[in-house]
Amino acid sequence: MTDRYAVVGNPIAHSKSPRIHALFAAASGQDMRYEALLAPLDGFAATVRGFIADGGRGMNVTVPFKEEAFRLADTLTPRARAAGAVNTLAFEQGRILGDNTDGAGLVADITGNLDRALAERRVLLLGAGGAARGCILPLLGERPARLLIANRTAEKARGLAREFSANGANVDGCGFDELSGQSFDVVINATSAGLADTGLPLPPGLFAPGALAYDMVYGKATPFLTLAATAGARCADGLGMLVEQAAEAFLLWRGLRPATAPVLAALRKNE
């Protein structure tokens, strides 16, 4: 019997996940079907339970349901618990496992596809919302020399840093206005500014020579990436992160991690 999987969100028609997982399945010989489900804003849990009742094996979760998925899960992985949000659900024996593969996808894209080491590097994470939170634990797992979280509201960034520094990790928080005079080897934009084509109040000199500038938004030249390119940084968008987090979900569901390079190349070709 063909196993069923889906991505659920609202809106959902734009999602690239069905194509990504179809390519994964074809390349790895997996008998599975993956679809996109539009859930009513007040009907996420009902949509999930209905999918389970129809024999569904797992789901990806996108906006605006990641925090609701966190609350719905019976069991959470450590990285999902740290993120406070879930983007991947697995259904086994009547129980719901919640995972968060976003941060692992980001790290895999940077260290694998972009061949940029994070160990002993100065890393700046812009933003202190859900997208940033989901990446902190995986980033710290790479043992950077320093991880600084910067946000328009400085106290939100400092609070997030305090939460993750409890185990002795070298992580700090600050406001954007405190970045002057500092430079970083990797700068990651986890804010939603790029979606609205809005710039960020970043000082000159932020990008060290040879720095990588990474925007989680994909498919467009965001003001952040335009600024970074002008400063001489190497620029990357978040399409690789999307593919790599999908591969992490596929691994959870199917027990194997599919090759991502051909899928990423196919998506780039159609941009």
CB 130 within 8 A of CB 100: no
Give all strands (DSSP E) within the chain, no chain letters: 3-9, 32-38, 56-61, 75-76, 88-92, 95-99, 122-126, 146-151, 171-175, 184-189, 207-215, 234-236
Helix (H, G, I), strand (E, B) or coil at 41: coil
pLDDT for 271 beyond 80: no
pLDDT of the residue at 196? 81
Domains defined for the chain, CATH in brackets: 3-100+241-269 (3.40.50.10860), 103-237 (3.40.50.720)
pLDDT in tens, 19-36: 999 999 999 999 999 999
Q: Which residues have a Cβ under 8 Å from the Cβ of 67 and sit 6 or more positions away?
A: 84, 85, 130
pLDDT at residue 270 above 90?
A: no
Q: Which residue has the tokens 């938004």?
A: 217
Query: pLDDT per residue over 151-167, tens digit each?
Result: 999 999 999 999 998 76
- Read off the pLDDT of each residue in 61-68 and give the average, rounded to a whole number: 95
Torsion sign, CA atoms 146, 151, 154, 160:
negative
Global pTM reads 0.95
| Rounded percentage of the chain residues whose pLDDT exceeds 90 | 92
Which residue's structure tokens are 């090759």?
259
Give the containing element (helix H, strand E) for 126.
Answer: strand 122-126
Contact 86, 61 (CB under 8 A): yes
CA distance 132 to 128: 5
193: how many CB neighbours lie within 10 A of its CB?
19
In this structure, the strands spanning 146-151 and 234-236 are: unpaired
Host H or E run for residue 215: strand 207-215
Beta bridge partners of 173: 149
Q: What is the mean pLDDT of the chain?
A: 96
Contact 37, 51 (CB under 8 A): yes
| Catalytic, out of 66, 156, 220, 269 | 66
Which tens digits make up the pLDDT trace of 173-203?
999 999 999 999 999 999 998 878 889 999 9
Tokens of 185: 């080897």
Where does the pLDDT of residue 168 fall: very low under 50, low under 70, confident under 90, or very high at 90 and above? low
Interval 99-115 mean pLDDT: 98
Give the Cβ contact number of residue 230 at 10 Å. Answer: 9
* Residue 48: both structure tokens together: 């999930």
Please report the pLDDT score of residue 167 as a whole number.
Answer: 65
What is the predicted pLDDT for the residue at 150? 98
Give the count of beta carbons closer than 10 Å to the beta carbon of residue 43.
12
Asked if the model's pLDDT at residue 232 lies above 90, the reply is yes
To the query of whether residue 66 is one of the catalytic residues in this protein, the response is yes
